Structures are given as C-alpha cells and as structure tokens.
C-alpha cells in the first residue's frame, strides 16, 4: 500500500544556495562590490521544494513530485528532501536537463547578486508519463493537489490538462501557483493564486492597480477559464479573494516588517492547502495563509513558517476583541474575579507596564479598555495619539498579563463597565476613588475600586516634553 499523504505538490524544484559575507570596498578593476565570504554552505529547498517543506511545517504530510538533472545539485536536493519530516518524494531524473539552482550573494541581509543555472525546455513525453503515473499512484491518498509552476519546463499543456481533469473527476481540490502569463493552461483548476503583477500580465496590464481592478480581472478569468476562486497576493496591500459566487474578501497585510519577499507566495499556497485539509473554510484558510506570509517576509531568504508561530500570532490577535465577543466569552467561561482598567497608553513606558502588571495580579481575568484614536483626540487634542490604536493594541496584546483588549470611541468606558460588570476597577493612585469612572456603578453589584501605586515621574506627556526639548 502506498505511503499516505494529505497534499501532493507537483512543480519545479529549485536548489537555493546562499553566499554570505561583507562588502567593505569596491573592486579597482570594475565598479562592482567585493564580497568577503564568511559562509557559503547554506542550501535550502526552493520552488516546489519550498512549498512542500512549508506544508510539513504547517503540520501536514506532503508528497513532492518534481524533475532534477543527473548531477550533484539533484543529489543535494534529494538529501534535503530526506531530512524533511513528513515529506515523501519522487524526484525524477532527466539526463537531458540540469537541476535548477539559484545562488544568492548576500551582504548584511541584502542581496547584491543572484546567479541562476537552469533548463527551461519542456520535458519529454517519457518524463511526462513518468510524472503522471507517479501522481496517479498517490492521488487516492491525497485531499489537495498543488501545482507549483516556476516555468522551468516541467508543466506541458497536456500534463496540466490531465492532472486537473483527473483531480476534478476524483473531486480533489487543485490549487495552482502560476508563472505562465497564459492562464488558459490552468483552466478548470479550483483555485489559482497569482500575485498582482501576474494577474495583470495575464489579463489587462494597462489597468490601474486598485481593489476594483483586481476584482474585475479576477471575475474575468473565473468566467473565462472556469476557476472557482482567484486569490491574489498584493505585497504590502495584503491578499484579495474573489470566487465565482461573487464573494469578495480583502485582507490587509500582516507583515510587521519586510526583509525579503522570496518564497512568500510559496508560504501562502502551502497554508491555504493546509487549511483546506484541516476542514477550515477557504476564508479561514486564507486568513491563516496571510498570517504565515506576514511572518515569512520578515525573514531573509526562503523560509519555513511553523504552525506554532501562526497559532501564537492568532492567539495574540484574539486578545483584541469586540464588546459582544467579550461579553459572550465572559458568559461561557464564568470568570469569578474580573478586573478592568482603561487608558490611552500612548508611548508605552515602564510606568504603564508596572501598573498593568500589578492590576493583573489582583484578578483572574484582566480586561484593558483602550481609547481609540478618535477618543484620545477628544480628550487630549488633535496632536495625540502619537501611536495609532492598531499599533498600541498589538503591542499591549503581547503582554501575557493582559487577557483581553477592547477599543472604545467614547470619552469614557462607562457603558462598557455597565455591560461587563467587573469585580474590580483599577486606577492609578494619582486618582481619588470619587474621580474613577464607574466607581459609583460598581458598588451596585458588589465590586470595588482598587488604586494601584504608580511609579512617580513616568508619563507620556513628560516623554513628549523631553523629546521636544531635546533633553
């Protein structure tokens, strides 16, 4: 019986190599940098190999099918595959080709040169039959099939047609990560995941880049080529999802910082497939893929993003919730000692952290009501906040001693307090109990106000003043 897999990945495999060093001078022979090599041993699975290893990092079993040359680089790729847990593979040797290799020369996390070695001629009919036969042997045991096309010659029109037709007949989901401008070769795939440039080049490259044009072009190729869904990665603008039922979803980028976009598309398609296998909705699968891409672009080179990393990010994000969600969570979990505080927390400093930590220690479930940007402006004027609500809330969500964060637009959180009915209201000891919003109300249900001793001399206003004065 063939070894089981959950996802089949077919596509062009690439050997990614890295030569790291320092550039300290320019060559006297030509206007080019001189790289003093410090490490040239790093080798990774790239192309379809990167898709496959991200599938396994997501916690799924994968079978990889690709073509390599009869050379040392092909042997290296085979060894890298062997070392990858939950990955089985068929690397078919084609003696007429060389193994695709990308060599990156890097200084200070900046690529200064890339050298590619590759064959781009289409595979022979013999190799095509070998690929399809091995695909058929694995298909029964797979739920999703990924076509990772790097346009290196592995996917002939006839091979693509046979793979997609067979998957449709057997009700297997086909996801295509395209590189060819002619999307007709991927006709009738369930999902296609171009980046924005690829989408435009395959349709109408002269259109202005906008949500509307992405939607328009997605609907066009759905109708034209029989796709169910088009998922377009849009770099810093996030991901757009359009399906044949006219449902549209735009997700903002989850990247905190961008070092390298290499392989980000691989990460997206891997996590979409993983989500489908785990019975997530397509929307939730894309949301998870978006989180994974946000992590991937914050690293240098092609990289694996592990499920635990996604879960940690989602858990932190889940701290930030809406009032109705929070009320429902309180009802379900029946917390006995709910603590509550509120504030702007603009330019978070030591005084803030000490205050929040002390408050959290006095209750079982600690809620922070955070003034929205509009709320802060109502209180402190149009020069504040310095830091926007999304950034403030995300920073605060990283602290383990805060259980939930809710953002409010009013000047005071009184309406929230009345609905949540916490057992404790926390405020700094620079307040009097009579000055605390909700002090009178909390007594009606047996709660109390607790004044927390604050570190003297610590405030956002003083920080701003020092910055202005240059002290």
Is 40 among the residues known to form the active site? no
Q: Which pLDDT does position 462 carry in this prediction? A: 76
Q: How confident is the model at residue 249 (pLDDT cuts 50, 70, 90)?
A: confident
**Rounded CA separation 64/72 (Å):** 19
Q: Which residue has the higher pLDDT, 468 or 157?
A: 157
Q: Say whether both 288 and 336 belong to one domain.
A: no
Q: Say whether both 290 and 156 belong to one domain.
A: yes
Has residue 432 been placed in a domain? yes
For 160, other C-beta atoms within 10 Å of its C-beta total 23
Q: Say whether both 271 and 377 belong to one domain.
A: no
Range with lowest mean pLDDT among 173-177, 260-264, 385-389, 394-398: 260-264
Catalytic residue among 16, 44, 180, 266: 266
**Rounded CA separation 400/97 (Å):** 54
Q: How many domains does the chain have?
A: 2
Stretch 92-103: mean pLDDT: 96
Report the mean per-residue pLDDT for the chain: 90
Q: How confident is the model at residue 208 (pLDDT cuts 50, 70, 90)?
A: low
Q: Which residue has the higher pLDDT, 390 or 134?
A: 134
Q: How confident is the model at residue 50 (pLDDT cuts 50, 70, 90)?
A: very high
Q: Which pLDDT does position 321 carry in this prediction? A: 87
Q: Say whether both 256 and 112 belong to one domain.
A: yes
Q: Say whether both 146 and 217 belong to one domain.
A: yes
Please give the share of the chain, as a percent, with pLDDT higher than 90: 67
Q: Say whether both 341 and 271 belong to one domain.
A: no
Q: Which residues make beta-bridge pairs with 67?
A: 92
Q: Say whether both 127 and 232 belong to one domain.
A: yes
Long-range own/partner contacts, residues 107-115 (CB < 8 A, 24 or more apart): 107/20, 107/21, 107/22, 107/23, 107/33, 107/35, 108/22, 108/23, 109/259, 109/260, 109/300, 111/260, 112/23, 112/33, 112/35
Q: Say whether both 106 and 167 belong to one domain.
A: yes
Residues 6+ apart with CB under 8 A from 3: 63, 88, 141
Inform me whether the pLDDT recorded for 446 exceeds 50. Answer: yes
Inform me whether the pLDDT recorded for 4 exceeds 80. Answer: no
Q: Which pLDDT does position 452 carry in this prediction? A: 95
Q: Which pLDDT does position 383 carry in this prediction? A: 84
Please give the share of the chain, as a percent, with pLDDT higher than 70: 94
Q: If DSSP codes are grouped into helix, strand and coil, which group holds residue 162? A: helix
Stretch 7-29: mean pLDDT: 94
Among 317, 338, 361, which residue terminates a domain?
317
Q: Which residue has the higher pLDDT, 343 or 1?
A: 343
Give residue-wise pLDDT tens across range 400-411. Answer: 899 999 999 999
421: nearest Cα among 300, 354, 307, 338:
338
Q: Say whether both 309 and 336 belong to one domain.
A: no
Give residue-wise pLDDT tens across range 209-237. Answer: 566 688 889 999 999 999 999 999 988 78
What CATH number does residue 290 fall under? 3.40.1190.20
Inform me whether the pLDDT recorded for 333 exceeds 80. Answer: no
Q: If DSSP codes are grouped into helix, strand and coil, which group holds residue 468? A: helix
Domain coverage including residue 228: 7-20+36-317
Q: Which pLDDT does position 190 carry in this prediction? A: 97
Q: Say whether both 75 and 169 belong to one domain.
A: yes
Q: How confident is the model at residue 375 (pLDDT cuts 50, 70, 90)?
A: very high
| Number of residues that make up the chain | 471
Give residue-wise pLDDT tens across range 147-185. Answer: 999 999 999 999 999 999 999 999 999 999 999 999 999
- Helices and strands per DSSP (H, E), number in the chain: 16, 18
Q: Which pLDDT does position 1 carry in this prediction? A: 35
Inform me whether the pLDDT recorded for 351 exceeds 70. Answer: yes
Burial of residue 389 (CB within 10 Å: 0-12, 13-18, 19+) is: buried
Q: Which pLDDT does position 224 carry in this prediction? A: 95
Has residue 60 been placed in a domain? yes
Q: How confident is the model at residue 12 (pLDDT cuts 50, 70, 90)?
A: very high
Q: How confident is the model at residue 205 (pLDDT cuts 50, 70, 90)?
A: low
Q: Say whether both 309 and 330 belong to one domain.
A: no
Q: Which pLDDT does position 316 carry in this prediction? A: 61
Among 269, 285, 317, which residue terminates a domain?
317
Q: Say whether both 312 and 435 belong to one domain.
A: no
Inform me whether the pLDDT recorded for 461 exceeds 90. Answer: no
Has residue 84 been placed in a domain? yes
Has residue 1 been placed in a domain? no
Among 317, 342, 363, which residue terminates a domain?
317
Q: How confident is the model at residue 2 (pLDDT cuts 50, 70, 90)?
A: very low
Give residue-wise pLDDT tens across range 237-248. Answer: 889 999 988 778
Range with lowest mean pLDDT among 25-39, 138-152, 258-272: 258-272
**Rounded CA separation 85/309 (Å):** 18
Q: Which pLDDT does position 113 carry in this prediction? A: 93
Inform me whether the pLDDT recorded for 343 exceeds 60. Answer: yes
Q: Which pLDDT does position 317 carry in this prediction? A: 62
């Amino acid at each position: 019986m063939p070894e089981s897999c959950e996802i089949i990945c077919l596509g062009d495999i690439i050997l990614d190599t890295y030569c790291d060093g320092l550039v300290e001078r320019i060559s006297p022979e030509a206007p080019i940098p001189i790289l003093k090599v410090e490490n040239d041993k790093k080798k990774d699975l790239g192309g379809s190999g990167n898709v496959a290893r991200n599938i396994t990092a997501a916690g799924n079993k994968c079978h990889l099918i690709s073509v390599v040359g009869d050379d040392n680089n092909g042997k290296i790729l085979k060894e890298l595959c062997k070392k990858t847990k939950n990955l089985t593979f068929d690397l078919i040797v084609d003696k007429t080709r060389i193994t695709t290799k990308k060599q990156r020369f890097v200084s200070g996390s900046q690529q200064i040169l890339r050298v590619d070695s590759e064959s781009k001629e289409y595979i022979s009919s013999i190799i095509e039959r070998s690929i399809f036969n091995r695909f058929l042997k694995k298909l029964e045991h797979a739920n999703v099939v990924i076509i990772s096309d790097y346009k290196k010659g592995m996917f002939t029109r006839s091979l693509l047609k046979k793979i997609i037709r067979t998957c449709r007949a057997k009700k297997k989901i086909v996801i295509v990560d395209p590189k060819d401008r002619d999307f007709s070769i991927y006709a009738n795939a369930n999902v296609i995941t171009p980046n924005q440039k690829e989408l435009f080049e395959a349709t109408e490259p002269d259109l202005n880049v906008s949500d509307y044009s992405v939607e328009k072009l997605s609907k066009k190729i759905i109708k034209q080529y029989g796709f169910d869904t088009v998922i377009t990665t849009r770099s810093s603008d996030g991901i757009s999802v359009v399906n044949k039922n006219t449902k549209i979803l735009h997700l903002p980028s989850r990247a905190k910082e961008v070092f390298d976009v290499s392989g980000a598309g691989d990460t997206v398609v891997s996590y979409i497939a993983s989500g489908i296998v785990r019975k997530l909705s397509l929307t939730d699968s894309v949301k998870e893929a978006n989180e994974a891409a946000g992590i991937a672009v914050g690293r240098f080179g092609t990289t694996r993003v592990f499920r635990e990393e996604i879960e940690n990010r989602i858990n932190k994000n889940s701290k930030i919730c809406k009032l109705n969600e929070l009320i429902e969570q309180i009802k379900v979990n029946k917390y006995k000692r709910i603590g509550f505080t509120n504030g702007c927390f603009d330019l978070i400093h030591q005084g803030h952290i000490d205050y929040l930590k002390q408050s959290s220690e006095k209750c079982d479930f600690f809620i922070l009501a955070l003034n929205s940007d509009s709320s802060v402006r109502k209180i402190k004027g149009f020069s504040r906040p310095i830091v926007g609500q999304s950034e403030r809330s995300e920073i605060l969500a990283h602290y383990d001693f805060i259980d939930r964060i809710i953002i409010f637009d009013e000047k005071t959180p009184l309406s929230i307090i009345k609905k949540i009915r916490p057992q404790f209201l926390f405020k700094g000891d620079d307040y009097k109990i009579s000055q605390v919003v909700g002090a009178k109300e909390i007594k009606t249900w047996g709660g109390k106000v607790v004044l927390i001793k604050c570190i003297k001399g610590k405030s956002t206003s003083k920080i701003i003043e020092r910055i202005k004065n240059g002290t």
